[in-house]
Amino acid sequence: MSADRMLELTMELLESGMMWGEVKPLYKLYEELSPKETAELIDYTIDNQKLDSWDKQVVYLYLALYSYQIGEYLPDKLYTHLMKETWDSYPEIFLRAAPQVAEMLIDAAKTEEMRAQIMPLLSAVRTEKSAEFLAGTDHRWEDTAGGWCVEKGKIKTLYREEVIPFEESPGTEEEDRWVPLKRIDRLCRFCRHPLTLIFNQKEPLGSCLVCSCYQTIYTRMEQGEIVWHEKNKKTEILEQCMDRVLDGYPNPERKLRRSREFRRITYSASVMTDISHTQLGGLPCRFDHLDYPDCPDCGEKMIFAGQIEGQDIWEWGDGMYYFYVCENCSNGACNYDQT
Ligand SMILES: [Zn+2]
Ligand SMILES: [Zn+2]
């Protein structure tokens, strides 16, 4: 597809409020771009005088998340251009920056003000150099931004490489392909509503779907089942909202099944794009400032295991539930973000 047509489709989608594309989802079209088409689209967008810098960034965002035929990294040219144009970029775009881009960013971070702007971008470029630089700052996401952290002197990845996406099931599939969105026979000790099992693929993941909207809720495994973790402590926010929490517990309504689509780790890393975000593994949406919990038993950062969109649970649901695990202790955790 020609560069100007791709740009046109991207802008159409942007104007229609990020609804699904007409022919096929836009991310699929970006996925199909050949190396030559990718390079052309970058040049064409950079040189385009009619688009403002935010519109251009949507093109770069799609390229960074979905266009892999060109190789692991997007051309440095794109990043040099971005650094000239604005520091207010989507960090997701920098997930596909080559290691030398980290050095360019560090070189540019001369003043305190510049540092604050550059750090979210630098966090997305995983190199020893970025880790070293970020560790020397008091940036608020410094310890987990980019989906990794430094633990015991080593870079620890906070997500899994293998991605398992889900799609809504029309209800005609055999039972075993359905994701059991089901209440389990264990209670939340805060609100006394039953816990809900959300995914049961690699390991069972679940939580209290009400209380986890207010604070991180921990679970542990007991004989292969999820149970309440005794170390959960009720926060003041939850205490204040208890009336609302006790009000009722919606019954999960949707059925999902495993999708056969192949996804890379970046596919679901932004809420901006026209993909369904419910999946196991890969980078979480808002990966750059997610509250990766510490394991209540061993204290290590827990790994992101999966996320489910609120709308995949309830008809009027919104936001996103994030699930984490500690592989040492088999503990689970869940928190929620409404944006
Ligand atoms: Zn609860
Ligand atoms: Zn642990």
Burial 189-206 (b: 16+ CB within 10 A, else e): ebbebbbbbbbeeebbbb
DSSP type of residue 48: -
Q: Is 143 helix (H, G, I), strand (E, B) or coil?
A: coil
Taking the centre of ligand 1 as the mean of its atom positions, its distance from the CA of residue 107, in whole angstroms, is 48
Taking residues 79-90, what's their average pLDDT? 90
Which residue range is the domain that position 138 belongs to? 3-145
Tell me: do 86 and 171 sit in the same domain. no
Which ligand ends up closest to the CA of 220? 2
In a domain, 194, yes or no: yes
Specify the pLDDT at position 288.
78
Question: Six-digit token pair at 38?
Answer: 């990718």
Are residues 174 and 210 located together in one domain of the fold? yes
As a whole number of angstroms, the distance between CA 273 and CA 264 comes to 15
d(CA 274, CA 253): 23
CA distances from 338 to 163, 303, 311 (A): 23, 21, 11
Q: Does residue 132 share a domain with residue 191?
A: no
How many residues are there in the chain?
Answer: 339
- DSSP assignment of 81-134: HHHHH-S---GGGGGG--HHHHHHHHHH--SHHHHHHHHHHHHHS--HHHHHHH
Shared domain for 140 and 169, answered yes or no, is no
Residue 176 is predicted with a pLDDT of 46
Which of the pair, 202 or 275, is modelled with greater confidence?
A: 275
Q: How far is the CA of 123 from the centre of ligand 1 (A)?
A: 34
pLDDT digits (tens, 9 = 90+) for 204-262: 999 999 999 999 999 999 998 999 999 999 999 999 988 877 776 666 666 788 888 99
Who contacts 260 (Cβ-Cβ below 8 Å, separation ≥6)? none
Domain end (from 145, 180, 208)? 145
Residues 175 and 299 in one domain: yes
Q: Are residues 10 and 122 in the same domain?
A: yes
> What is the count of structural domains for the chain?
2
Does 140 lie in the same domain as 171?
Answer: no
Segment holding 9, helix H or strand E: helix 3-15
- Which of residues 87, 115, 145 is at a domain's end? 145
pLDDT at 58 over 50: yes
Q: How many angstroms does the Cα of residue 191 sit away from the middle of ligand 1?
A: 4
Residues 104 and 177 in one domain: no
What separation in Å is there between the alpha carbon of 155 and the centre of ligand 1? 34
C-alpha of residue 238 to centroid of ligand 1, in Å: 9
DSSP 260-280: -----TTTTS-TTSSS---EE
- Residue with the two structure tokens 């949507």: 58
The band of 171, judged by pLDDT with boundaries at 50, 70 and 90, is: low
Ligand positioned closest to the Cα atom of 301: 2
Specify whether 67 is located in the same domain as 190.
no
Cα(first)–Cα(last) distance of the chain, in Å? 33
Would you state the pLDDT for residue 13?
76
Nearest ligand to the C-alpha atom of residue 212: 1
Contact call for residues 280 and 305 (beta carbons, < 8 A): yes
Which ligand sits nearest to residue 332's alpha carbon?
Answer: 2
pLDDT of 286-305, one tens digit each? Answer: 887 788 999 999 999 999 99
The answer to whether residue 177 scores a pLDDT higher than 60 is no
User: 170 CA distance to ligand 1 centroid (A)?
Assistant: 30
> pLDDT exceeding 70 applies to what percent of the chain?
90
Is the residue at 247 inside a domain? yes
Find the ligand nearest to 333 CA: 2
pTM score = 0.90
Task: State the DSSP H helix or E strand holding residue 238, giving kind and residue range, or none if neither.
Answer: helix 236-240
In a 10 Å sphere around its CB, with 0-12 CB exposed, 13-18 middle and 19+ buried, how is residue 321 labelled?
Answer: buried
pLDDT of 153 over the 60 cut: yes
pLDDT at 138: 67
Look at residue 158 and tell me if it is in a domain.
no
For 306, residues 6+ apart whose C-beta sits below 8 A from its C-beta are: 164, 198, 199, 205, 279, 280, 281, 322, 323
User: Which ligand has its closest atom nearest to the C-alpha of 242?
Assistant: 1
Q: How far apart are CA 30 and CA 27, in angstroms?
A: 5
In a domain, 246, yes or no: yes
**Per-residue pLDDT tens over the stretch 18-41:** 555 456 788 999 999 999 999 999
Residue 195 CA, ligand 2 centroid: distance in Å: 21
Q: What is the pLDDT at residue 320?
A: 94
Q: In this structure, are 120 and 178 located in the same domain?
A: no
Residue that is last in its domain, among 145, 172, 187: 145
Are residues 26 and 82 both part of a single domain?
yes
